[in-house]
């Protein structure tokens, strides 16, 4: 489990395509405090650490399955060397829950359709996949590239979020652009509420 509060910005160092995709990621985390098998959310995708090192800088490696490639922006635009990634380590008992409960299981990919300044903040409008749009509601939560954000408005498949300056500074959202493919995880509570409503609806 995660909270959607980004704690580091990683950078892809190497990508190896042999069977599953294997990616080495530079990090500011103390790798001596990370165990092999630990989970780290990388742009919102929960990935398992399979190797660690400290030369020439702290890094960890993850393996990415075909299923993950199919459901995330990794398979759409690739993670090449130099790409910056939002990172979050798994929630520990007693940690502050500053965002919302995020599983790290990406539901699909949203597309950025507009970016505009709004005072000191930035308003970003995205288009969700058809099958996920119904789970997104105004004032609800979504995880976008691993970042917990509040939905401001919804119009059909399009929904908007507001990025304050702090969010842009401590995440990769400072470089957002129209056309970006963004990992989307809908709020688990919204999914359950929708399913309960369907179960309670009279048969047509």
- Written as six digits, the tokens of 71 are 């459901």
Name the CATH topology of 8-89: Elongation Factor Tu (Ef-tu); domain 3 (2.40.30)
Please give the model's pTM, rounded to 2 decimal places: 0.90
pLDDT interval class at 190 (50, 70, 90): low
Closest to 181 measured CA to CA, from 71, 81, 80:
71
Q: Where in the chain is the domain with CATH 2.40.30.20?
A: 8-89, 108-198
SS3 89: strand
- The third-level CATH classification (topology) of the domain covering 108-198 is Elongation Factor Tu (Ef-tu); domain 3 (2.40.30)
Query: What pLDDT is recorded for position 98?
Result: 66
Tell how strand 20-26 and strand 108-118 pair up.
unpaired
Which residue has tokens 């940690």?
95
Condensed to tens digits (0 to 9), the pLDDT of residues 97-109 reads 666 789 999 999 9
List the single range of 42-46, 127-131, 195-199 with lowest mean pLDDT: 195-199
Does the pLDDT value for residue 204 go beyond 80?
no
């Amino acid at each position: 489990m995660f909270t959607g509060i980004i704690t580091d910005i990683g950078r892809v160092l190497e990508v190896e395509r042999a069977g599953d995709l294997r990616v080495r990621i530079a990090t500011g985390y103390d790798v001596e405090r990370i165990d092999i098998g630990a989970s780290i959310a990388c742009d919102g995708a929960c990935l398992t650490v399979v190797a660690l090192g400290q030369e020439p800088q702290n890094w960890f490696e993850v393996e990415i399955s075909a299923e993950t490639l199919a459901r995330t922006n990794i398979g759409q635009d690739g993670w090449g060397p130099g790409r910056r990634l939002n990172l979050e380590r798994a929630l520990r008992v007693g940690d502050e829950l500053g965002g919302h409960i995020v599983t790290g299981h990406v539901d699909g990919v949203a597309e950025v359709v507009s970016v505009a300044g709004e005072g000191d903040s930035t308003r970003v409008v995205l288009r969700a996949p058809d099958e996920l749009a119904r789970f997104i509601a105004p004032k609800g939560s979504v995880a976008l590239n691993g970042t917990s954000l509040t939905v401001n408005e919804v119009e059909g498949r399009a929904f908007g979020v507001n990025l304050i300056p702090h969010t842009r500074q401590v995440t990769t959202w400072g470089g957002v652009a129209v056309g970006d493919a963004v990992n989307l995880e809908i709020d688990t509570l919204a999914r359950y509420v929708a399913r309960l409503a369907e179960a309670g609806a009279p048969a047509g």
